[in-house]
A and B are shown apart, each in its own frame.
Chain A
């Protein structure tokens, strides 16, 4: 067998090992968006809070600039009240190349919101400082909550 043939076969072997590695550490969760929402909701009960409701696609576009078609799944819960900062956004990305720009857009929004509350609404400001922005296996969660640690752990378990 000549040297080129050995190199070609080596590539095939490395490719197979790489695929086995990837499938073993599947980079995208098999959970659906609804399942993740259910798990997170069980922890923070956002859907049971009177002043917070599920927002439509137009609201998502207005708040974050995101188009629902860009993602496999997107859901957003927030309040109409300007003094309420608690909110929850769960996104299942179509591919990881979206992650940076999505995170950047959320971080920018938090920054702008923090600037609004800083100085006159310390409680809201403190909650915004402890915002949650986590990515795991294709899912991204953003939340401003009273219980950020429980929320993160529920999210990580669900995906």
Chain B
């Protein structure tokens, strides 16, 4: 079920709200929060089962296993050897499940290709959201092992942490420590609910009005193949994809954060105007923050981070970025995308650091943006070969040359949407003057969001197919 579908907006969500907010235990806060957790957990399982019911079994196994591991770690907390053995077992189990469902086919196909074998493998569908909820489960297990969080002895709040539908499918990846207290007690108020609604509408607008619209231009450009694209057209195309992926993914994250707020939860911010970054390091502090934080906290720092000398730091960066690439998908273009950023971050940290500091800030912004756009070529392509063809087209040395009549057509018809999405992604609109009077400001805000919502609904009624790009990870 998609957040931007009529079924979700007009059937699923109202039913969940009704069950969640109608109080059953008015005088017993503890029982009431348990009821709320139960409603949210059950509705999350329904939400998950909507697309692929069979994989609910896998999610239940993951919940029960990681919950038991938590209890086992707590029981053996004073025994470092046993504790470590349990952790290793839990990590192998979780990564094993993720590896099997996500990478098994990829590995077998590569072995076949490399050694000329013809090993067969079952073609299994990728369980939706597996990369996200596995990382959440691992964050809990590792935090309990380290003693950073208390063990959760109640299965329901733990199951809710893993299944919570607002962020189940495409994040943000919520670390257990960030949400532990909220599972027991959280502020549910009209003010917070209203704030959540605004977040949700903003996300819906980003997805429906910006991402879908600008994405259609990219699709149109690439639909006839990428090898014969002229340079100008291919740059327009990748700019549109750059905007599409930002508004698509940050739109989903805003909707998730908004839904969380409506139910009384506070999730971490996942994007902070990433295209305003002045370096690649800065970009990754602003893009998919929850994933970067996860790799920093559970891979980079435990490996020694930057505390063990230059060689070790480079090694650690390589490990983190190979994993980041692979996390996004079992394909060589994702591995190349991860390696691309790994190499750039190493160069930025150890080779060009002093040079970068001397470059004027506007030039740094432009350079970062160009590099990010080149990175998206690997990400958006179906294969490494296709990425290579697209990059060649961008240089002007491809079959399509520099520009043609179609380039001029795209330039004239796409300039306005490119400008609007670009300015919005660069955060220009947030600096617009706002009314000083509180009532006026509120009126403008409410009317503005209402207009966005109405436009989204009009679009959704006419266009039923609008998937999220990050769903397949």
Please report A residues at the B interface, Cβ cutoff 8 Å.
2, 4-5, 7-8, 11-12, 14-15, 18-19, 22-23, 26-30, 56-58, 61, 64-70, 94-102, 104-105, 108, 138
Considering only CB atoms, which chain A residue lies closest to B5 in the complex?
A101
Q: Is the CB of A97 within 8 A of B128?
A: yes
B443 at the interface (CB under 8 A from A): no
Main secondary structure of the interface of A (DSSP, over half): helix
Contact B71 A4 (CB under 8 A): yes
Q: In angstroms, how far is the closest chain B Cβ from the Cβ of A105?
A: 4
Count residues on chain B whose CB falls below 8 Å from chain A CBs.
45
A11, B50: Cβ atoms under 8 Å? no
- In the complex, per-residue mask of B49-66: 1 if CB is within 8 Å of any chain A CB, else 0: 011101001100100110
Cβ-neighbour of A8 out of B69, B122, B123, B472 (below 8 A): B69
Q: B interface vs A, CB < 8 Å?
A: 1-2, 5, 7, 50-52, 54, 57-58, 61, 64-65, 68-69, 71-72, 75, 89, 93, 97, 100, 122-126, 128, 169, 215-216, 219-220, 222-224, 380, 382, 463-467, 471-472
Residues of A within 8 Å of B65, CB to CB, are 8, 11-12, 15
- Closest chain B residue, CB of each to CB of A66: B465
Q: When chains A and B are docked, how far (Å) is the Cα of A82 from the Cα of B420?
A: 37
Q: How far is the CA of A108 from the CA of B7 in the complex (A)?
A: 14
Q: Residue A11 contacts which of B64, B122, B224 (CB distance < 8 angstroms)?
A: B64
Q: With A18-B61, A27-B123, A65-B463 given, can you name 13 additional A-B contacts, CB distance below 8 Å?
A: A2-B72, A11-B68, A22-B54, A28-B123, A57-B224, A58-B220, A65-B466, A95-B471, A96-B52, A96-B128, A97-B169, A104-B464, A104-B465
Known: A18-B61, A27-B125, A70-B467. A61 touches B72 (CB 8 A): no
Contact B465–A95 (Cβ < 8 Å): no
Contact of B382 among A2, A14, A69, A138 (CB under 8 A): A69
Interface centre among A26, A68, A96, A97 (most CB of B within 10 A): A97
Cα of A28 to Cα of B125 in the assembled complex, Å: 6
Q: List 22 A-B contacts (CB under 8 A).
A: A2-B72, A4-B69, A11-B65, A23-B122, A26-B123, A28-B123, A28-B124, A28-B125, A56-B224, A57-B223, A57-B224, A58-B220, A58-B224, A61-B216, A65-B466, A67-B223, A69-B380, A94-B472, A95-B128, A100-B1, A101-B2, A138-B123
> CA A26 – CA B71 in complex, angstroms?
35
Whole-angstrom distance between the Cβ of B367 and the nearest chain A Cβ = 28
Q: Which of A11, A22, A70, A100 contacts B124 (CB 8 A)?
A: A22
Chain A residues, CB < 8 A from B124:
22-23, 26-28
